[in-house]
Amino acid sequence: MHEFSMALEVISLAQREAEKNSANAIQEITIEVGDLSGVEADAFESALGLLVNDSILENASINIIRTPGIGRCNACAVDFEMNHRMATCPKCECFPSEISGGQEFRVVSMMVE
């Protein structure tokens, strides 16, 4: 379960950013987790919830934004939402020739005090 180590890295990143900005606490953090990122959003959120005690994020509001994958079918020129990598075009059932979005895993913003 790499979500645990990802949660630890987010806490570490938050700590470093707080120190750089001479902040005592982080009020809010927003994290984007794409459906095709390889990170299970629910498991990551649970791991983060367990690990924030006694950390810079202990009292922070934690927002997790889930983003779907978007596939492009060149066979029929359809863009479609993908919730897993093996999703096929709903119109012609071809695999996507391009995937745009849904592969992100990033801290989008932090509000410090």
Question: Tokens 């990143």, residue?
Answer: 13
* Domain range enclosing 91: 3-112
| HSE-CB for 27 with a 13 A CA cutoff | 3
Going across the sheet that includes 69-73, the strands are 78-82, 69-73, 98-99
The model's pTM is 0.85
Q: How many other CB atoms are there within 10 angstroms of residue 4's CB atom? A: 15
pLDDT at position 68, please? 93
Q: Is pLDDT of 11 > 70?
A: yes
- CA atoms 42, 43, 46, 52: torsion sign: negative
Tell me the pLDDT tens digit for each residue of 70-110: 999 989 999 999 988 889 999 999 889 899 889 999 999 99
- The total number of residues shown for the chain amounts to 113
Which DSSP category does 50 fall into?
Answer: H
Q: What is the pLDDT of residues 24-33, one digit of tens each?
A: 889 999 999 9
- Ordered alpha helix ranges (H), the chain: 3-20, 41-51
Max alpha carbon distance in the chain (Å)? 55
Please count the structural domains in the chain: 1
Is the pLDDT score of 4 beyond 80? yes
* CATH code, domain with 60: 3.30.2320.80
